[in-house]
Structure 1
């Protein structure tokens, strides 16, 4: 079997990803454009053979997985859920900063939701279960959590996730450096658009 490659796939566009509202547990469908984005993923992923497919419990991630052609093989993984925004669910950053000046989710977390250390522990728990697997693993999840997972994959504190961005329906790959097989790397980040070939 080939070394582990984790394909992290953010869900397609929703009304709140367009408006900039923080979306944790709220169940939103994909927009029509979001569905088109997810169908585009099917073309990009169809030549790949995945040994494991996991999806967040949220509707938008599951719908993306289904439209990408991997729903039949997918298992729901609670640790792939988005950051719990608590009292800030549905608010834009500017609205939150009106209540909490200089708010930074990476340092402050969300009242009634998750603190950074809690999301970091979720990512670490998931990594611990995946790191010894072989082959390609697909994870359908969310933007904020994906940034946490990438930071923790390469050994950075969760705070450093603020330096990554993830577009809807993007694909990123977490893996190992071939010449140093114990060294975790980000092989691909925030890849979008059908012009990018993913099949080896």
Structure 2
């Protein structure tokens, strides 16, 4: 059993480095291309469960990847609630909170790492209860916390996993031990 964790494609805010939690924005044209590249990779897998964040960028990615009809919308997959930092860049946040790190500090008016960990743990439990593989369509900071929790680290361990838009990750097992099989894999055009 494996979990295929897919970060949504590029958005205008991801291009600018703005923290995008609850703001529901669409994919860019390039984001749609990145999402469509997932289709042939995911089509070969019958997936026992497909879960998707309710945010438009994740739903569009899921649709373009060919799994939209099978997806169950799961509010636990929504991106980290950035509270007062929503829409701000890391540089803007550093001006008001020098040295801030989401995985350690959380967000004022938003979520703490422990709150995100609780949501992620529910998704992990759902994934492990299914026969077959699971596909998750979600967001950068959330999926980084997911990877940390999958291998038994606190959500703060997500700081060790960089994750670009429109990439594929696979989490599974080494013998009986939860492990990271593939991380932050971009999918290239077939012609490239």
1:65 match: secondary structure:
helix
Q: Select 2:87's aligned residue among 67, 83, 90.
A: 90
CA RMSD of aligned residues (A): 1.3
Structure 2 Cα separation of the partners of residues 52 and 128 of structure 1? 12
Structure 2 Cα separation of the partners of residues 161 and 143 of structure 1? 10
Indicate conservation of the 8 Å contact 1:81/1:142, yes or no: yes
**Offset at residue 158 of structure 1 (A):** 1.4
How many pairs are equivalent?
190
Q: Deviations over 1:108-167 (max 9, x none)?
A: 110110011111111112112222322111000001000000000000111111010111
Task: Please identify runs of 4+ aligned residues in structure 1 that moved more than 3 A.
Answer: none
Alignment-derived partner of residue 151 in structure 2: 154
Q: Select 2:58's aligned residue among 50, 58, 61.
A: 61
Alignment-derived partner of residue 22 in structure 2: 25
Indicate conservation of the 8 Å contact 1:44/1:194, yes or no: no
Structure 1 gap segments, 5+ residues each = none
**Offset at residue 48 of structure 1 (A):** 1.7
> TM-score by structure 2 length?
0.95
> TM-score by structure 1 length?
0.92
Indicate conservation of the 8 Å contact 1:171/1:192, yes or no: yes
Alignment-derived partner of residue 140 in structure 1: 137
Alignment-derived partner of residue 192 in structure 1: 186
Q: Deviations over 1:68-96 (max 9, x none)?
A: 11101111001111000001000001101
Structure 1 Cα separation of the partners of residues 156 and 128 of structure 2? 22
Indicate conservation of the 8 Å contact 2:37/2:189, yes or no: no
Q: 2:106 aligned with 1:109, yes or no?
A: yes
